Amino acid sequence: MVVFSGLPPADDRLELSLNQLHYFEQTVVGAYGCAHRHGVAALNLIANGSVPVADLISHRMRLDQLEEALNLVERRQSMKILLYPERRA
């Protein structure tokens, strides 16, 4: 799950299970320092094919398939799932 870091101070707490962190060998990291130019450079590398990313998305599903997507994640049957709003005619 990706969460934007610009949350109000009241929302900056995260409850986590130390047992789950240990037994599932999970990692929690923080990162800081990405400027606009870094995003531009990353998009350029992706656009010109220098960094292949197509295989990172294993499923493309409509937003109304969220429950199915979460089940795939829970069963560890997906890499990354792209959820998109349903297009209307």
pTM for this entry: 0.46
pLDDT in tens, 35-71: 888 889 989 999 999 998 888 899 999 999 999 999 9
Both tokens assigned to 61: 């599903």
Q: Where are the domains of the chain?
A: 15-84
**Residue 79 in contact with residue 86, Cβ under 8 Å?**
no
> CA 26 to CA 20: how far, in whole Å?
7
State whether the Cα torsion 64-71-7-12 is positive or negative.
Answer: positive
pLDDT in tens, 18-37: 898 889 888 777 666 778 88
> CA 82 to CA 89: how far, in whole Å?
21
> CA 53 to CA 80: how far, in whole Å?
11
Q: Tell whether the model's pLDDT for residue 2 goes beyond 60.
A: no
